Amino acid sequence: MNRRNFVWTGCAALTAQRVRAESEAAAIVLVAGKRWVTVAGRSVELLTYNGQLPGPQLELRPGQDVTIRLINDLPEPTNLHFHGLHLPPSPGVDDALLQIPPGEQHEYRFTLPADHPAGTFWYHPHVHGMTANQVGGGLAGAIIVRAEFEERLELTRVPERVLILQDFDLLADGTLARPTQMDRMIGREGALITVSGEVVPNLPVSASGVARLRFINACSSRFFNLALGKQALVVIGVDGGLIAAPNAARSTLLAPGERIDTIVSGAALAEGPDLLWNLSYQRTFAMMGGMMGGQRQAAGNAVIAHIIPTAGEGAGWTMPTKLADVSPLPAAARLRTFVLGEGTGRMGMGMGSQQAMAFTINGRTFDMRRVDTDVRLGTVEDWEFVNNTSMDHPMHIHTNAFQVIGSNGSPLPAWKDTVLVKAGQRVRVRTRFDDFTGLAVYHCHILDHEDMGMMGTLRITN
């Protein structure tokens, strides 16, 4: 069953219909609250938008005026972040520092830039210290930006599914477990894995055609190492939209916050259904795992969906050899280094502050009153993330996408906003601070790490 929910108003262009340049306004209401929902026949109490898991899917087009009223029915502050969208990080817009108190509401208003790339984005809460609980409790939804050029590739003819990957740690009574200090340190994971609200769903693909699967890793901490049993996973897009050329991979790692856009072929299903696997992957050093009791060791391969052949539309589409124009960013004006660390620090403020496990960037835990990185609008910079810790950290930057610098020193032809920095490794990305001034953040997207300090502020000024 397809659980897509379209709550935006005013437009019905979904498939072959022509996407118009001039667009109607979208008006959306999201109520964040704890609700009982049914997952795979079981009653569970999760955090939801509008009582749905995942939250409603928002369909947006470049140039569109968007209004999102967020009503906070949670017993604690919340807010919204539009992960990956190129929007002003200004007060009340894409404002990770805003807090909407319980029982109150906020109206987010923005115009998606007219040249905004098409792609798979998502929204989720972003209150420092509560992000892992809220996102890990279920608060997440997809934002699909559609633009005209995908029509030239005839991608609009290809049936698609948006697959939001979530995991939940539940008690026997169906309520969310409280993570232990150790869970938070490693990054909580839950045994219940849902794929757009379903457990091991059937994903139909026309036996004579193809389907487009867009994956969003909306887990607090769980990584996915995605693979199909009978065919390569053909990646056509990543975080910030389509990539330059399709890339067939045996398996693809998807860290929290990351997205991939893929094409699955029905031809491989001639002999029967295929399996979508989450292959085992270890995101901490073995020693670390041992120290921590080893419960987060590679858990073995698991099936997370079945790919089922069906009769139906989709025949005749051939994979283009060229997808999007991703022009490399020009050389950077400066290089900054961000050293990721684990240690202890003072968490909390004043009387309530205590010595606790902390995660740091350049030796400091997050403080919203401090500006960590000051940049000028329009400049290009290289940022190098240096991971000397024993855990992988997927690093995310708000507001502007980046290009990862490849091993040959040039930027790879793909727009990313979250990049995996494996334990003991360093990764360099190139970004340009375009269009918007304001105060943004960058952080580890293992949300327990973000909550425990692995976040910094980025001030973009004229």
Q: How many residues bind ligand C2O (CB under 6 A)?
A: 11
The distance of closest approach from Cβ of residue 92 to ligand C2O in the complex, given in angstroms and rounded to an integer, is: 17
Residue from 26, 46, 47, 96 in contact with ligand C2O (CB under 6 A): 96
Selection from ligand C2O, Cu ion, none that 443 binds (CB < 5 to 8 A by kind) is ligand C2O
Which residue reads 């902390």 in tokens?
358
Nearest approach in angstroms of CB 85 to Cu ion is 8
Tokens 């120290």 label which residue?
Answer: 291
- Going by DSSP bridges, is the β-strand pair 58-60/141-145 parallel, antiparallel, or unpaired? parallel
Q: Which stretch binds ligand C2O (CB under 6 A): 178-186, 187-195, 332-340, 441-449?
A: 441-449
Site size toward Cu ion (CB under 5 A) is 6
User: Looking only at residues 244 through 263 of this chain, which bind ligand C2O when binding is defined by CB under 6 A?
Assistant: 257
The label of the residue with tokens 């993330």 reads 385
393 binds Cu ion (CB under 5 A): yes
- Cα 277 to the center of its chain, rounded Å: 19
**Per rule CB under 6 A, is residue 393 in the interface with ligand C2O?**
no
Q: Which stretch binds Cu ion (CB under 5 A): 100-108, 190-198, 373-381, 398-406?
A: 398-406
Contact status, residue 302 vs residue 278, Cβ threshold 8 Å: yes
Among the listed residues 61, 83, 128, 214, the single contact to ligand C2O using CB under 6 A: 83
Applying CB under 6 A, the span of 188-196, 321-329, 382-390, 438-446 interacting with ligand C2O comes to: 438-446
CB of 141 within 8 A of CB of 103?
no
**Reduced to 3 states, what is the DSSP secondary structure of residue 182?**
helix
One-character DSSP codes across 189-244: --SEEEETTBSS-EEEEETTBEEEEEEEE--SS--EEEEESSS-EEEEEETTEEEE
Tokens encoding 397: 């930057």
Residue found by looking up tokens 């810790």 in the block = 389
Residues numbered 412 to 451 that lie near Cu ion (CB under 5 A) are: 444, 446, 449
In the complex with ligand C2O, the residue whose CB is nearer, 112 or 444, is 444
Residue 126 sits in the site that holds ligand C2O (CB under 6 A): yes
Give me the least distance between CB of 342 and ligand C2O, in Å please: 20
User: Under DSSP, is residue 108 helix (H, G, I), strand (E, B) or coil?
Assistant: strand
CB neighbours of 273 closer than 8 A, spacing ≥ 6? 202, 306, 307, 308, 309
Q: Is 443 in the site for ligand C2O (CB under 6 A)?
A: yes
Closest distance to ligand C2O from the beta carbon of 441 (Å): 6
Report the DSSP beta bridge partners of residue 203: 307
DSSP-based helix, strand, coil % in the chain, nearest 5? 10, 45, 45
Min. distance of Cβ 257 from ligand C2O in angstroms? Answer: 5
Which residues make up the interface to ligand C2O (CB under 6 A)?
81, 83, 96, 124, 126, 257, 396, 398, 441, 443, 445
Which residues make up the interface to Cu ion (CB under 5 A)?
83, 393, 398, 444, 446, 449
